[in-house]
Amino acid sequence: MKSRAAVAFGPGKPLEIVEIDVAAPQKGEVLVKITHTGVCHTDAFTLSGDDPEGVFPAVLGHEGGGVVVEVGEGVTSLSPGDRVIPLYTAECGVCKFCTSGKTNLCQAVRGTQGKGLMPDGTTRFSYNGKPVYHYMGTSTFSEYTVVAEISLAKINPHAPLDKVCLLGCGVTTGIGAVHNTAKVKPGDSVAVFGLGGIGLAVIQGAVQAKAGRIIAIDTNAEKFALAQEMGATDCVNPKDYDKPIQDVVVAMTDGGVDFSFECIGNVDVMRSALECCHKGWGESIIIGVAGAGQEIRTRPFQLVTGRVWRGSAFGGVKGRSQLPGMVEDAMAGRIHLDPFITHRLPLERINEAFELMHEGKSIRTVIHF
């Protein structure tokens, strides 16, 4: 079938809106009509060429919501008409990772997914007869996409897709990192570096966890109003100080925070986020994604003296079993999605969403088809 899609033809180039061909779903696959998708910084990261897994031409996008149109052979858990959120972290339920009870990082389709291919090693997308690659197993920047059955969360049939699409990445990542990775407890102090969609979701999670101090840190002071509305107790701009930001946070908190979250993808800030944690127990969660060749550094003494570095992918959330509950939370008002949606645009204007993000003017732009 034909589908309108925003195709990334090469690194650093604007997306092009073209009509691609989408082949029928094969065994274990599902054809989904995407109605809405957010634009996450990770899409911009891959488009920039910094992603070691970036392949072109590709249909990017991983923060979508849609409706099942057709199922391939052997698909039993989904039917046409079901509302779904595509998952870049699958949940097969049977692999070593899924059964470990220790991680959400199902590996059933991760190998082919990282190469821009469906699990059978081929693509369902083509343009002028040439293959177009998939992205993160989701490719939500296309009106029609093909996704593995194990990479789809079936959600409430009445869920507002124009909002809950944000649970496909940003909001789930931030809230999940607080509860599943850090396990923040009432009264804990928290520092959040970077106040985009991810950092603001961390703040929302920290409020849910009844954290004490929530210190919001960004070099763009225009982000502070929303951070405060979300529940930040303090806002700090590193540009206002002539000493390292970790020293500022340590001085504010009688020795450092219980938890910090890096939500930028800057390896220097990752060091600051670790070093602003309290001696003996402070934990720093890396959420930001850094480019090829980037490495983190600190003095080993920072770890010897009890600080801990952890990472978090998709907030540690198992998509098929846990995301439907988070959709219910959003529908019941326990998760607030509206504050994240600063802009709405049609697919044809998707490049403006990237510009707004780079200019620091948006939190999330929701694209409609």
Catalytic center residues: 40-42, 62-63, 92, 95, 98, 106, 110, 169, 364
Which residue is listed with tokens 């908190």? 253
Using CB under 6 A, which residues numbered 292 to 321 contact ligand AHE? 313-314
> Would you count residue 180 as binding ligand NAD (CB under 6 A)?
no
- Among 82, 4, 84, which Cα is nearest to 346's? 4
**In the stretch 153-182, what mask flags binding to Zn ion with x, by CB under 5 A?**
----------------x-------------
Residue nearest to ligand NAD (CB): 196
- 282 lies in the binding site for ligand NAD (CB under 6 A): no
Residues with Cβ within 8 Å of residue 123, at least 6 apart in sequence: 116, 117, 131, 132, 133, 134
Q: Decide: is 151 part of the binding site for ligand NAD (CB under 6 A).
A: no
Which region among 11-19, 49-57, 236-244, 302-310 touches ligand AHE (by CB under 6 A)?
Answer: 49-57
What is the distance, to the nearest Å, from the Cα of residue 191 to the centroid of all Cα atoms in its chain? 19
Contact 203, 209 (CB under 8 A): no
State the alpha helices, DSSP H only, in 132-196: 161-164, 170-176
Find all residues with CB under 8 Å of 235, minimum gap 6, and list them. 215, 216, 217, 218, 221, 224, 227, 228
DSSP state of 182: I
Show the site string, 97-116: x = touches ligand AHE by CB under 6 A, - = not.
--------x----x------
Size of the site for Zn ion (CB under 5 A): 8
Neighbours of 122 (CB within 10 A): 12
238 contact choice in Zn ion, ligand AHE, ligand NAD, none (CB below 5 to 8 Å, kind-dependent):
ligand NAD
User: What span, in angstroms and rounded, lies between the C-alpha atoms of 212 and 221?
Assistant: 22
Strands (E) located in 39-174: 58-59, 64-71, 83-86, 125-127, 130-132, 144-148, 152-154
* Residues contacting 12, CB < 8 A, separation 6+: 47, 48, 49
Annotate each residue in 57-96 with x if it binds ligand AHE (CB under 6 A) or - if it does not, as one string. Answer: --------------------------------x-------
List binders of ligand AHE among 130-149 (CB under 6 A).
none
Q: How far is the CB of 129 from ligand NAD (least distance, A)?
A: 33
Contact predicate 72/28, CB 8 Å = yes
Taking the CA atoms of the chain, what radius of gyration do you get in angstroms? 20
Q: Which does 92 bind (CB under 5 to 8 A by kind): ligand AHE, Zn ion, ligand NAD, none?
A: Zn ion
159 lies in the site for ligand AHE, by CB under 6 A: no
Between 278 and 364, name the residue whose CB sits nearer to ligand NAD. 364
Residue from 19, 53, 120, 355 binding ligand AHE (CB under 6 A): 53
Q: Name the segment binding ligand NAD (CB under 6 A); options: 19-27, 136-144, 214-222, 226-234.
A: 214-222
Binding-site ranges for ligand NAD (CB under 6 A) = 40-42, 45, 169-170, 173, 193-199, 217-220, 223, 238, 263-266, 269, 287-289, 312-314, 357, 360
Residues that bind Zn ion (CB under 5 A): 40, 42, 92, 95, 98, 106, 108, 169
